[in-house]
Structure 1
Amino acid sequence: MRLIVKTQVIAIIVSILWLFYVNIVAFFDQPERALQYINYFVYGLAFLVGMIYFLLAKYFIGRNWFALLLVVIPFLLIYQPAVLQISLRFMTDGNGAVVNFISLSTGTVHLLALIVGLAIGVMFSRPAFKK
């Protein structure tokens, strides 16, 4: 039961970090901003977020491969659409369209960072010793 609660808390944290990721990229993607090379920024931010996912998996999930499914599937099916809809309600139509476009265009990069970060975190965590 503790594993399910931990994984759902991590899935909620991942969805909130995904929302920050999308909003930061949308902020720098505005035409009046001075960011020419948005792709490098997207990949660099995905690497940073992937490192955060690595640390979350290493210290909170441990060496449990089943926990990856318990984080990724609820994130994709429940938390990501819910957080996106809640955030779009607070935005104007123009900003909401930019955020929606950025979430669709950078979604695979973020999903790859999520899966790689969690998988490497599980691989490099300590094995649980049974008493």
Structure 2
Amino acid sequence: MKFLLRTQIVALLITFCWIVYLIVLAFLDQPDRALRYINTFVFGLALLLAVIYFVISRYLLGRKWSAFIPVLIPYLFLYKPIFEGVLLKLTNEYYGSTIKFLSISTGTVHLLAAMIGIGFGIFFTRPQMKH
């Protein structure tokens, strides 16, 4: 039960980071802001999130490869659509269309960052010694 709770906490943290990622990119994707640098921001934020996911998975999941699927499946099919729908309802039409476009265009980059961060976090965790 503790293992399942930890995987769901990690999935919720990844979803929350995804929403913040979309909000930051939607804010920067304005004609008078950093529009020419948006690709740099997409990959830079994805790299930052991969490092955050590495730290989260290292400390919350440990060296349990069986946690990989229980984190990604609820994230993709449950939490991400729900949180994204709530975000789209909270924003106005202009930001909503920008967020929808960014969600579609950067979704694979974020998913890859999450997979790499979680995978490396699990891989580089020391095995727990039994006393």
> Shorter-chain TM-score: what band?
over 0.9
Query: Shift of residue 31 of structure 1?
Result: 1.7
110-119 or 86-95: bigger deviation: 86-95
What is residue 64 of structure 1 aligned with on the other side? 64
Identity among equivalent pairs (%):
43
Gaps spanning 5+ residues in structure 1: where? none
Matches within 5 A, 1:24-63: 24-63=24-63
Q: What CA distance in whole angstroms lies between the structure 1 residues aligned with 2:18 and 2:34?
A: 23
- C-alpha separation between the residues in 2 aligned to 1:6 and 1:90? 28
- 1:40 is displaced (CA, Å) by 1.0
State TM-score, norm by structure 1: 0.96
Q: How many angstroms apart in 2 are the aligned matches of 1:74 and 1:34?
A: 33
Structure 1 residues 33-86: Cα deviation after superposition (integer angstroms, max 9, x where no partner) = 134121111101000000000001111100011101111010000000000001
**Cα offset, 1:103, TM superposition:** 0.6
Structure 2 unmatched runs, 5+: none
In 2, Cα distance between equivalents of 1:13 and 1:34 = 27
Which consecutive aligned stretches of 4+ in structure 1 deviate over 4 angstroms post-superposition? none
Alpha-carbon shift at residue 126 of structure 1 (Å): 1.4
SS of 1:36's partner is helix
